[in-house]
């Protein structure tokens, strides 16, 4: 409504009209304002109000040109003004935020003084604390003797662990980032890597947790995943001959367990006195019931650390002790060859010399195993020569040199010491 005024004095003289005064009656309350978010809203979501930013600006919408009063559960905060488009910002960067949830609401007051209802609550959740260090608790399935050592024959692996509840968990290896998953409300998480083609190499896994505010934890301790899909092989041979019978050595090409007398096949005799000499070898005594016997160890008689069953051994034919009558066993003099083969220096730190001069001419297979039974070196060498082996890059510890000349297996221990 456009209002004007004219003045008439006592003599009847009339003034010119006043300037127009516009009367705008407004009895309607503004629409309920909206708090649309904060800046910066860090972390996985940019609209959840969870933030690690200490310098916050609140944003929202309300009736254009209205005054917006923002409050929390602790009382009035401060006010700001909307622009012609109805958008508003409230700078609270000077306020020292604590790590407590703040329930924000807004009311709009229009130019006529009409007050809106309160906005819906917007929860501001400051979080400046990094999550606790996560833990990789294991893998599934962790096969073999232990269900917590990371050594497995399973090709389809799921990694498990714990972290801050609802945090994002990023798993990496020594080769770089792997992939991420999310912890549940209890802090438990699983990472499915069944689609990854695992190789038989040790994988050093670590995890980092990132909470909803974007705070990042320190890395977890390393969990070593050691896939092992290879069945252990086994060779049996004579270690000694006496009137009591044949002492047989079963030499596996890696550490195994579980071999029993029931798994040793003896046709024409019996086996007794089974002893595990070290992680890679057993010995037992075979007594003949007649003039000959055949000895073998079947597949699946022992298992390696990952739970892989062994393959079947060679078959060993025995004759009456002291007769020398077995295939591949010509005389008892062969049993002293182990003593004649020299390893020096022992301990070795740089170069290990293997003296094969005690063996007659021909090729031999030479293997070097670490203390856990894993091969670390192999080669073919010729008898009647010396072999120089660089051990400077090997870890300190006990190693086993295995030599096979087509008739017998010879094993000798050597120390590498830095």
Averaged over 220-236, what is the pLDDT? 94
Across the beta sheet with 151-152, the strand order is: 151-152, 223-227, 203-210, 168-173, 176-182
Predicted pLDDT at 322: 44
Per domain, the residue ranges of the chain are: 34-126, 135-227, 234-329, 335-416
Per residue in 195-215, pLDDT (tens digit) is 999 999 999 999 999 999 999
pLDDT band at 277, cuts 50/70/90?
A: confident
Report whether CATH 3.40.50.300 matches the domain 34-126.
no
Distance in angstroms (rounded) separating the CA atoms of residues 307 and 313: 18
From first CA to last CA, the distance across the chain in angstroms is 100
Residues of the chain above pLDDT 70, percent: 94
Least confident of 130-139, 341-350, 354-363: 354-363
Q: Where are the alpha helices (DSSP H) in 248-292?
A: none
Selection from 12-21, 71-80, 274-283, 333-342 with the highest mean pLDDT = 71-80
Are the CB atoms for 109 and 118 separated by under 8 Å? no
Identify the weakest region by mean pLDDT among 139-153, 213-227, 273-287, 399-413. 399-413
pLDDT above 70 for 323:
no
Q: What percent of the chain has pLDDT over 90?
A: 62
pLDDT of 291 higher than 90: no
List, for residues 293-316, the tens digit of each pLDDT value.
999 999 999 999 999 999 999 998
Q: Is the pLDDT of residue 404 over 70?
A: yes
For 76-96, write each residue's pLDDT tens digit: 999 999 999 999 999 999 999
Query: Can you give the pLDDT at residue 296?
Result: 96
Q: Express each pLDDT in 127-176 by its tens digit.
A: 999 999 999 999 999 999 899 999 999 999 999 999 999 999 999 999 99
Evaluate whether 385 touches 341 at the Cβ level (below 8 Å): no
For residues 7-18, average pLDDT: 86
- Give the model's pLDDT for residue 320: 58
CA quadruple 185, 186, 190, 191: dihedral sign: positive
Band of pLDDT at residue 242, cut at 50, 70 and 90:
confident
CA quadruple 54, 60, 65, 67: dihedral, nearest 10: -60
CATH superfamily of domain region 135-227 = Immunoglobulins (2.60.40.10)
Report if pTM > 0.85. Answer: no
Q: Which residue has the higher pLDDT, 411 or 120?
A: 120
User: Is pLDDT at 220 greater than 50 in this prediction?
Assistant: yes
Torsions phi, psi for 313 (to 5 deg): -80, 175
Average pLDDT, the chain: 89
CATH number, span 234-329: 2.60.40.1220
Chain centroid to Cα 104, Å, comes to: 41
Class of domain 335-416: mainly beta
Q: Measuring CA to CA, how many Å separate 386 from each of 357, 370, 414?
A: 7, 21, 16
Question: pLDDT, tens digit, for every residue of 48-65?
Answer: 999 999 999 999 999 999
Asked whether the predicted pLDDT for residue 417 surpasses 90, the reply is no
CB 398 within 8 A of CB 379: no
pLDDT score for 412: 83
Confidence of residue 381 (pLDDT cuts 50, 70, 90): confident
Q: Is the pLDDT of residue 251 over 50?
A: yes
Are the C-beta atoms of 243 and 321 separated by less than 8 Å? Answer: yes
């Amino acid at each position: 409504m456009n209002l004007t005024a004219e003045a008439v004095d006592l003599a009847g003289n009339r003034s010119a009209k006043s300037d127009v005064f516009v009367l705008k009656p407004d009895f309607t309350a503004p629409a309920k304002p909206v708090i649309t978010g904060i800046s910066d809203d860090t972390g996985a979501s940019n609209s959840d109000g969870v933030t690690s930013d200490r310098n916050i600006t609140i944003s929202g919408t309300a009736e254009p040109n209205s005054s917006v009063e923002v409050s929390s559960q602790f009382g009035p905060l401060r006010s700001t003004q909307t622009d012609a488009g109805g958008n508003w910002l409230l700078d609270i960067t000077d306020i020292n935020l604590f790590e407590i949830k703040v329930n924000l609401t807004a009311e709009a007051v229009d130019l006529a003084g009409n007050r809106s209802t309160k906005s819906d609550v917007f929860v501001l959740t400051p979080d400046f604390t990094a999550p606790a260090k996560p833990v990789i608790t294991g893998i599934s399935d962790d096969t073999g003797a232990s269900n917590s050592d990371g050594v497995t024959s399973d090709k389809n692996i799921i990694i498990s662990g714990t972290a801050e509840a609802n945090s994002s968990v990023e798993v990496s290896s020594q080769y770089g980032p792997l992939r991420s998953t999310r912890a549940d409300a209890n802090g438990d998480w699983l990472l499915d890597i069944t689609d990854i083609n695992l190789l038989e190499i040790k994988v050093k896994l670590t995890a980092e947790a990132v909470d909803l505010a974007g705070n990042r934890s320190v890395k977890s301790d390393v969990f070593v995943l050691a896939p092992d899909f290879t069945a252990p092989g086994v060779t049996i041979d004579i270690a000694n001959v006496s009137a009591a019978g044949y002492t047989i050595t079963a030499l596996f090409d890696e550490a195994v367990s579980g071999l029993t007398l029931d798994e040793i096949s003896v046709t024409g005799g019996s086996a007794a006195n089974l002893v595990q000499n070290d992680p890679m070898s057993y010995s037992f005594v075979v007594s003949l019931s007649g003039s000959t016997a055949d000895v073998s160890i079947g597949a699946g008689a022992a298992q390696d650390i990952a739970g892989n069953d062994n393959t079947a051994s060679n078959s060993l034919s025995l004759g009456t002790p002291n007769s020398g009558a077995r295939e591949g066993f010509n005389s008892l003099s062969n049993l002293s060859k182990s003593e004649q083969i020299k390893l020096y220096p022992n301990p070795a730190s740089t170069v290990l010399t293997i003296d094969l001069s005690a063996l007659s001419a021909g090729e031999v297979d030479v293997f070097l195993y670490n203390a856990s039974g894993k091969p670390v070196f192999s080669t073919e060498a010729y008898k009647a020569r010396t072999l120089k082996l660089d051990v400077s890059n090997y870890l300190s510890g006990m190693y086993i040199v295995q030599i096979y000349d087509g008739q017998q297996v010879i094993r000798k221990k050597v120390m590498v010491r830095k």
